Structure 1
Amino acid sequence: MTVKKLALAAALASTSFAALAQDVLIRNATVHTAGTQGTLKNADVLVRNGVVQAVGTALAAPATATVVEADGRPLTPAFFGGITEIGIEEVSGESSTVDAAVTLEDQPMRPEFDVTLAYNPASVVIPVARVEGIGFTLLAAATGGSFIAGQGGVMRLDGSADPVGPRALFVRLGGGASELSGKSRAAQWMLLDQMVAEARGRVPVDSPHALLTPAGRATLARYLAGNGRIVVAVNRAADIRQLLRWAQRENVRIAIAGGAEAWKLAPQLAQAKVPVFVDALADLPADFDQIGATLENAARLDAAGVGVGFSQAGDASHNARKIRQLAGNAVANGLPWEDGLAGLTRVPAETFGVGDRVGTIAPGKLADLVLWSGDPLDVAHTAQQVWLGGRAMPMRSRQTELRDRYLQQAGPLPRAYSK
């Protein structure tokens, strides 16, 4: 079987398996609800019709239910994979499989660009993330020809083709985006102010200097009216300060991705109720916007009352499994364990408008659950079973299929010819 056939088989297996709904009773688990109930020892979780029906002790199993004996092992909500391009980036080095960014020469500012339209629920990247306990991700637009990247949304990694919550608008500010704004970060605010003026009707649609299309104006107007979160990739404290002033002036809902120096403005971020999705491994100044990076960033933000989530820089799509390492390192550097778990579950779910469905274990929520071999923030432990909507997901991927194939006993022909 060729590599391509292996990938196709894994995708088909995932789709067919996910179609089998089941009632489940997970018995005698250490249930980390990530919600108001906190952690429950020796607890049971009953799932019916894809939804958590009850959380408690000595729950009765319906005759149709599959009973899973947890033996005290941790049970958590399915994890957030971070802000990624899972499902719109198959092979990073092959442009035909990457749909995250748009570059248009004549009118590059296109907030109406929506990457969820290119999402592929059969992507072989999805099972690779899912077997690591990841159940949802924020699909992001990447910067192409403009520092206004476009829109994305939350995707559940259960084979669903459509976003489950409101769209988010992605913007990049600071030194990393200055090439897209006349080689000046100051010009980013000038251009933003003009786009706001256009979206609010203060600039004629037919103006020869207009930055936005009519569709772009309508899209930006929705976010200016509070319908959706604007996710801003920014690191330098001075830029974050300007962002907070802009968000207050325009009355918009923002979240910060990166925020290497966000700890310097922790009280202001807490007061403005702006969540920050940090790369908890950012410690050294990778550029001049991150001179104040510290491993204590998450802990300092959390102590001030900021909602802290996690997302990694770099190849986040193909390395989504590492997000547990981010949370674990944040805990090692002062973040309370329960808040580390919340940063992988409740905080992203609530921030991006899907907290009524995922992110915690509670009656009425989707049964997106993971049973772990041990502490889920310790990478020495693994996800033993993932349920999404109460359906047991196949705990295999293209990577595990290749591993098993090339570890098997050699036959009369080379392993490449094995079935």
Structure 2
Amino acid sequence: MTAKAAALIACMLVASTALAQDVLIRNATVHTAGAQGTLRNADVLVRNGVIQSVGNGLAAPAGASVVDAEGKALTPALFGGITEIGIEEVSGESSTDDAAVTLANQPMRPEFDVTLAYNPASVLVPVARVEGIGFTLLGATTGGSFIAGQGGVVRLDGSADPIGPKALFVRLGSGALGLSGNSRAAQWMLLDQMVAEARGRVPADSPHALLTPAGRATLARYLAGNGRIVVAVNRAADIRQLLRWSQREQVRIAIAGGAEAWKLAPQLAQARVPVFVDALAALPSDFDQIGTTLENAARLRAAGVPVGFHQAGDSSHNARKIRQLAGNAVVNGLPWEDGLAGLTRVPAEAFGVADRVGTIAPGKLADLVLWSGDPLDVANTAEQVWLGGRAMPMRSRQTELRDRYLRDAGALPRAYTK
């Protein structure tokens, strides 16, 4: 194939995915991640980017493309976790990292919103997407304050704007001691003062105010239940205080990390707090995680806690590993269906986008993935991803580099190959 022909085919592929198409996916093992559970030899009909029907023997409308799944697994597009995809390009290059704010004057800035810096053309978007990931929660990271700022859910379909309500990110425990006077007790003192300011119990012109007027308004929205506060915390004692605080202030929280959350599983279940766990954490990495166990997810779910998954470390560049977390949780006692739900329905419900994504059901966006085998087994791959009914190009910069350097060298070295 000539370079010109290859370029023409690439252009045609991009054009063909620009508009949602009618698609009938036949003979799939449909893991709905919803009330219907798993359906064998089932069909999914997509019209105008939305799932119209799920069942058996569905007829293809005129002009629809038909895909024979040959019994393979079809799932909702997966949640990539809490990441910085599109707001961090190269970890070591500060000009490409927009996930944190550090201000010397009034460092407490809950109004900081990382979604304003989201770049849908980031090379990390297709890197994650070809692995079956269709949406992620952009998270603010701690810079000058343990109140990190806001983020939101984005779909990895090339759209520029987040969907659903915003989330506020907070870090508690030893990981934020340097931002709270080297005392975790001071974190609650400062948090209580900020709540008092947001509720109008502290004069706006107080010389000791921690928040700007915009910060007060932002925090007040979360205190009124408009959006979820995502708290990175691990130690059971800190989680206990967090539950007391959230119940006292009547706020909606989620926990990211939660290494010792299993110790408070009944209380978390009663409070209906979702926990996003690192299911690869096997040993304590600090004194907040002495009670770390690979059975964390299974114990939480057995008590009735909604369980999702959270990667510690480089989650943006390695979002694909979140499938490994779910599979590892299943190996350690989590039911398989709950492992899939933790990658689909649970995060969609937790972050207010379940009306659009997270399950395969009529009326939902056709964000779907056809797998070569069990999606929780990392030996298998995503064969095709559809987002809003559009077949996504199954390539990324990583696959292009792979293909380039796997080719036989021609007259010139591979470095000169187009």
Q: TM-score, normalised by structure 2?
A: 0.97
- The corresponding residue for 2:132 is 133
- The corresponding residue for 1:4 is none
**How far 1:19 moved relative to its partner?**
1.2
**How far 1:251 moved relative to its partner?**
0.3
Structure 1 residues 313 and 13: CA distance shift in structure 2, 3 A:
farther
**How far 1:20 moved relative to its partner?**
3.0
RMSD value over aligned CA atoms?
1.3
Residues 214-293 of structure 1: pairs in structure 2 closer than 5 A: 214-293=213-292
Aligned-partner Cα distance in 2 for 1:333–1:414: 48
- Aligned 8 A contact 1:15 1:159 in 2: no
Aligned-partner Cα distance in 1 for 2:54–2:411: 54
Deviation beyond 4 Å, 4+ runs, structure 1 = 11-17
- The corresponding residue for 2:386 is 387
Residues 14-413 of structure 1: pairs in structure 2 closer than 5 A: 16=15, 18-413=17-412
Structure 1 residues 12 and 233: CA distance shift in structure 2, 3 A:
farther
Aligned-partner Cα distance in 2 for 1:167–1:87: 16
1:10-48 per-position Cα deviation (integer Å, ceiling 9, x unaligned): x99997554132110000000000000000000000000
- Aligned 8 A contact 2:14 2:393 in 1: no
Aligned-partner Cα distance in 1 for 2:166–2:84: 15
- The corresponding residue for 1:5 is none
- Aligned 8 A contact 2:330 2:336 in 1: yes
Q: Partner amino acid for 1:188?
A: Q
SS of 2:241's equivalent in the other structure is helix
- Aligned 8 A contact 1:17 1:393 in 2: no
SS of 1:289's equivalent in the other structure is helix
Aligned-partner Cα distance in 1 for 2:410–2:324: 39
Q: Partner amino acid for 1:35?
A: G
1:96-150 per-position Cα deviation (integer Å, ceiling 9, x unaligned): 0000000000110000000000000000000000000000000000000000000
Among all aligned residue pairs of Structure 1 and Structure 2, give the percentage whose two residues are the same amino acid: 87
Aligned-partner Cα distance in 2 for 1:19–1:288: 50
Q: TM-score, normalised by structure 1?
A: 0.96
Aligned-partner Cα distance in 2 for 1:17–1:113: 38
SS of 2:195's equivalent in the other structure is helix
**How far 1:417 moved relative to its partner?**
1.2
Structure 2: where are the runs of 5+ without partners? 1-9
Q: Partner amino acid for 1:186?
A: A
- Aligned 8 A contact 1:17 1:394 in 2: no
Q: Partner amino acid for 2:413?
A: P
Q: Which 10-residue stretch deviates more, 173-182 or 11-20?
A: 11-20
Q: Partner amino acid for 1:64?
A: G
Aligned-partner Cα distance in 2 for 1:300–1:20: 44
Size of the aligned set, in residue pairs, is 410
- Aligned 8 A contact 2:86 2:124 in 1: yes
1:164-200 per-position Cα deviation (integer Å, ceiling 9, x unaligned): 1100000000001010000111100000000000000
